[in-house]
Amino acid sequence: MMDLSANLTLLLKSNSSLKAESTLEGSAMGSGVCDPSVSSIDLTLASGVKGNLDFSFKLGADSNVNMDLTLTFMPDTMFKNGDTGMKTATTVSSTKLSTMTASYTCTAPMVIKFKSVAGTDGDEYEFSMTISDVKIQAFNVTGASYSPAEDCTAIDGLTTEAAMTSQPPVQTTEKNNETTSEAPTAPTTKPPTNESTSEAPVVTTQPTTKPPTNESTSEAPVTTPAKPTTPAQPVYPTPAPGAPAVNTYKAANVNGTCLMFKAGIEFTLPVLVNKVNVTKTLGINKEDKSNETEYAGDCDASNMTQTMTVTFYKTSTMLMTFTKSDTGYYFSDVDITFNLNKELFPDIDKEETLMVRKTFLKDQFAADKDGSYKCNDKSELAIQGVNFRTYNLQYAAFQKNITEFKSSGISECSADSDTNSVVPIAVGAALAGLVVIVLIAYLIGRKRSRHLEEVYKSMP
């Protein structure tokens, strides 16, 4: 549940007069997720700032709820001569809310900072959002009422407009009859950038006055040559050529496995390298420890949906949703969030988060109630500029303690069906050809036999 007021602004950095502004009034709620450790709400913005605004909530290691926001927008729908295609703006950092058993309230205005989004010719789009009168509960919601609240003023890590302008006082310490005045410490919050810069710590050395001695020693300064820098190397290996490894992912509860998904999964996605759009490939392989792949799902049979979340390369995620139908179930939605960083692609211009989603037709990946869906052939789907490919796909949902896929009740994709139809046709054609060859050989042999018989009869 969520109640809040918000002011949204999207502008072109090179020309601040090109600006779109709006509130959340009139926005429509789209899809949402309610998992034990992840929940989200998606809003469609229809005026001013147009696009999809996704509120994502995750449990942190301290059992507190962290909020991240993602705006997906198309500049040409708001600005004349704006960039075409989908753009994605993500928050610079997570906003810490309450513990998972409580609700969160904050009446003070709070600024949510977003990373800049690259446009053409080196320009950038900047999105900002100020929220106030906030009340949120992302987990353990019972009925239509909020749990007891934790106020933002009592939660560490809050960034409000008031907090952003506060300065620590000048401190004076006395020691050994000497007074030292320390300058106020500047805020450590930096303006958002699209590049990840690792800075060496700045060490300030104060002059040291040695006690007088009877010897005067003059030491020449020692200069240490700087170490040569080497280009950053990818932490994660580039996927091997060919089809990706086929892995199996399962969701289970006390009654056993309810959801099983098997496939080789691979993505091709656009990134900027030296201000040029290029494509990069990512494959998921949970057996490869460098992928840092984890997965989890839900098995609530009373729901109309079951989900499977696969986390790969530590921070990128793929949420798959399976929905019941009158005759069975189907793969209904996929939401993919790519955290594009220098560890994955050292040569990219900017670190950013790319979020795409796709809703499928009911009969596109449908399976019978007690069966499964299967597609051995490569399936390729275009999702907002990202190509999502699967190999040797098979899944079953809403099952009871499934350990392996049944050999019966399999719904095949059209490519497999065509292949299965071609095989018997080819075999039949080969057999027919063989029969014709045998028949021709028989007729030729018989004709020769008759000819020899006539020759023998004509001999004296």
- Could you read off the pLDDT of 441-450 as tens digits, one per residue? 887 877 766 6
Above 50 in pLDDT, residue 203?
A: no
Give this prediction's pTM.
Answer: 0.46
Above 70 in pLDDT, residue 158?
A: no
Burial of 158 (0-12, 13-18, 19+ CB in 10 A): middle
Residue 48: other Cβ atoms inside 10 A: 17
Q: Where are the domains of the chain?
A: 2-164, 247-412
Above 80 in pLDDT, residue 81?
A: no
CA distance 78 to 156: 37
By the 8 A CB rule, do 319 and 307 touch?
yes
The DSSP string of 227-238 is PPP-----SSPP
Q: For the ranges 13-17, 318-322, 355-359, 393-397, which has the lowest average pLDDT?
A: 13-17
**Is CATH 3.40.190.10 the classification given to domain 2-164?**
no
pLDDT at 52: 84
CA distance 354 to 348: 13
238-267: string of b/e by CB count within 10 Å (b at 16+)? ebeeeebbbbebbbeeeeebbbbbbbbbbb
85/400: higher pLDDT: 400
CATH code of the domain made up of 247-412: 2.40.160.110
pLDDT at 412: 93
Considering only the C-alpha atoms of the chain, give the largest distance between any 2 of them, rounded to a whole number of Å.
149
- Could you read off the pLDDT of 177-187 as tens digits, one per residue? 443 434 444 33
Where is 249: in which H helix or E strand?
A: strand 247-253
Please provide residue 253's backbone torsions phi and psi, each rounded to the nearest 5 degrees: -135, -160
Q: For the ranges 53-62, 375-384, 446-455, which has the lowest average pLDDT?
A: 446-455
* Domain 247-412 in the same topology as domain 2-164: yes
- Could you read off the pLDDT of 107-126 as tens digits, one per residue? 888 888 888 888 877 788 88
